[in-house]
Amino acid sequence: MNTTAAKAYAAHSASSPLVPATIARREPGPTDVEIDILYCGVCHSDVHTARSEWGPAKYPCVPGHEIVGRVKRVGSAVTRHAVGDRVGVGCMVDSCRTCSSCEAGLEQFCLSGAVYTYNSADRHLGGHTLGGYSTHVVVDQDFVVRIPDQLDLAAAAPLLCAGITTYSPLRHWKAGPGMRVGVVGLGGLGHMAVKFARAFGAHVVLFTTSPRKVADALKLGAHEVVVSTDPEAMKQRARSLDLIIDAVSAEHDVNAYLGLLKLDGSLVLVGLPEKPMLVNAFSVVANRRSLSGSSIGGIRETQEMLDFCAAHGVQPEIEMIRMDQINEAWERMIKQDVRYRFVIDLGSLA
């Protein structure tokens, strides 16, 4: 298969920093879209994967699955996108297309395993997929979404992971007027959960360990903010919430939050702590509570989410960086020193 060269930043081992690299991209096939990447969001998953914290990564590892840009070329059979279109690519670039999950528009739960934007087996070139910390990418049209004109293109990038990861469970558990929704953690995921829950009409309660985030949480749309290290404040919210979106990726006591749920309430994990959680059986047996999880969303729902954001003015809070600032940005992200999502300007790599 013919290829073209792309500039990128890659990690070559679990302990090495990201450095400039040249990678191969396939020439567009009949159903492919070639995208000039303009911006790419920085997700904590990028760090976990490149540093082999979720299992051995494939190297060189080029992270990045919050990709936005403009269409440069299209294959002869492409009907959904045209040259010049504003488009995006999220966490997946392929799936089997035929299983019950894929047919239901739930490609993220593909029974054969979705092909992720990086660190998955590359069905076209062999080896493994390489992500959006690069100048361009080639993706099948079925896994490319349209970025509405109403959205700032750079700010739209984190919607492709942080946005859909929180939108999907809020929709699935029917967050809306009359519901009290808790959000645990005010980071890249949490701040989007607050914005979406508020836009859906729910009463939003944000839980944070950091008193310095109280003002931000209220500004972003929370009706109440609880500093979770305050035992009395937590006690006052016991059995008060219908739904909790837990967006924390660090070790924490999930039982403390299960106790805040009403009868038949659900706590949904979207953060991914490295260590297993200890769950007390009494925390879920009491009040018939549920502990669940949710993983991104399908392509159809991702487009729905983008259209919702355009219609309701929902966008992430971002901090723009150059590509050569990525290692510093990763260290700051680990220290929670970002409000609330880094976005790489890929023009700095061209």
We report the CATH number of the domain holding residue 175 as 3.40.50.720
Averaged over 253-274, what is the pLDDT?
Answer: 95
118-to-35, 125, 171, 291, 321 alpha-carbon distances in Å? 16, 13, 27, 29, 21
Place of tokens 């080029």: 62
Number of H helices, E strands in the chain: 11, 17
Averaged over 330-345, what is the pLDDT?
Answer: 93
Q: What is the pLDDT of residues 17-55, one digit of tens each?
A: 999 999 999 999 999 999 999 999 999 999 999 999 989
Angle at 193 between CA 188 and CA 198, to 5 degrees: 135
* Gap between the terminal Cα atoms of the chain: 24
Shared domain for 60 and 98, answered yes or no, is: yes
What confidence score (pLDDT) does residue 274 get? 80
Question: How many domains does the structure of the chain reveal?
Answer: 2
What is the C-alpha to C-alpha distance for residues 114 and 119, in angstroms, rounded to an integer?
11
**In contact, 193 and 248? CB cutoff 8 Å:** no
Give 123's pLDDT tier (boundaries 50, 70, 90). very high
Shared domain for 193 and 105, answered yes or no, is: no
Shared domain for 222 and 321, answered yes or no, is: no
**In contact, 37 and 132? CB cutoff 8 Å:** yes
Residue 350 has pLDDT above 80, yes or no: no
Provide the 3-class DSSP secondary structure of residue 40.
strand
Q: Which of 182, 212, 210 is nearest to 198 (CA)?
A: 182
Give 250's pLDDT tier (boundaries 50, 70, 90). confident
Shared domain for 156 and 199, answered yes or no, is: no
Shared domain for 276 and 200, answered yes or no, is: yes
Shared domain for 274 and 143, answered yes or no, is: no
Shared domain for 268 and 213, answered yes or no, is: yes
Residue 5 has pLDDT above 80, yes or no: yes
Averaged over 194-214, what is the pLDDT?
Answer: 96
Give 349's pLDDT tier (boundaries 50, 70, 90). confident
CATH of residue 37's domain is 3.90.180.10
Q: What is the pLDDT of residues 48-89, one digit of tens each?
A: 999 999 899 999 999 999 999 999 999 999 999 999 999 999
Given 276, 293, 310, the domain boundary residue is 293
Shared domain for 123 and 251, answered yes or no, is: no
Shared domain for 175 and 209, answered yes or no, is: yes
Shared domain for 147 and 169, answered yes or no, is: no
Give 312's pLDDT tier (boundaries 50, 70, 90). very high
What confidence score (pLDDT) does residue 193 get? 98
What confidence score (pLDDT) does residue 273 get? 85
Q: Return the structure tokens found at 90.
A: 């999220």
Q: Which of 202, 169, 167, 209 is nearest to 187 (CA)?
A: 209
Domain span including residue 125? 3-161+297-348
Sequence-separated (6 or more) residues with CB below 8 Å from residue 65 = 43, 45, 46, 89, 90, 91, 116, 117, 118, 131, 132, 160, 161
The DSSP string of 168-199 is HHHHHTT--TT-EEEEE--SHHHHHHHHHHHH
Q: Beta 180-184 vs 241-246: how paired, if at all?
A: parallel
Q: Return the structure tokens found at 329.
A: 């940005």
Angle at 324 between CA 319 and CA 327, to 5 degrees: 75
User: At residue 216, what is the residue type?
Assistant: D
Q: What is the pLDDT of residues 99-109, one digit of tens each?
A: 999 999 999 99
- Count the neighbouring beta carbons within 10 Å of the beta carbon of residue 105: 14
Shared domain for 86 and 73, answered yes or no, is: yes
Mean of the per-residue pLDDT values of the chain: 96
Shared domain for 40 and 129, answered yes or no, is: yes
Residue 339 has pLDDT above 90, yes or no: no
